[in-house]
Amino acid sequence: MPESVQTATFKEQRPVGLELKPLSIEQSPELTRQLLLMNRQELTHTLKTFSAPFPVDFTDDFLAKQSDDKLRHVLFALCVHCGRLPRQDACFQPAINTTPTLKRAA
């Protein structure tokens, strides 16, 4: 007799009838900019806490073995598929201040 195969089930985290819409091509430069501003710690934190309508579970070991570029690639794919920028997640805080500051004349 063949062994029975168990499959994982999960509850969708999005309202019934809500379609996932991937990011538009116009949002790609902003997504790229945000990912380039993220350091390794921010990339791994965002990947570990990313809220998606499907299970996303990266182990510390897996994340530690990936290059920064690979982490950016994975996060890029998640963002495109889920239709949102990483800054839309509450966990995102840029590593550097991207807001220009004005210096007063002495």
Residue 39: alpha-carbon gap to chain centroid: 13
| Rounded-to-10 torsion of CA 42, 48, 54, 55 | 160
Q: What is the DSSP letter of 97?
A: -
Q: Tell me, yes or no, if the pTM score tops 0.85.
A: no
In terms of pLDDT, which residue wins out, 78 or 104? Answer: 78
In terms of pLDDT, which residue wins out, 99 or 70? Answer: 70
- 72 Cβ partners below 8 Å, 6+ apart? 35, 36, 38, 43
Buried-state track 68-77, b at ≥16 Cβ within 10 A, e below 16: eeebbebbbe
Q: What is the pLDDT of residue 67?
A: 97
Q: Give domain limits for the chain.
A: 25-88
Query: What's the pLDDT tens digit per position in 40-87?
Result: 999 999 999 998 888 889 999 999 999 999 999 999 999 988 888 887
Q: What is the band of 105 on the pLDDT scale with cuts at 50, 70, 90?
A: low
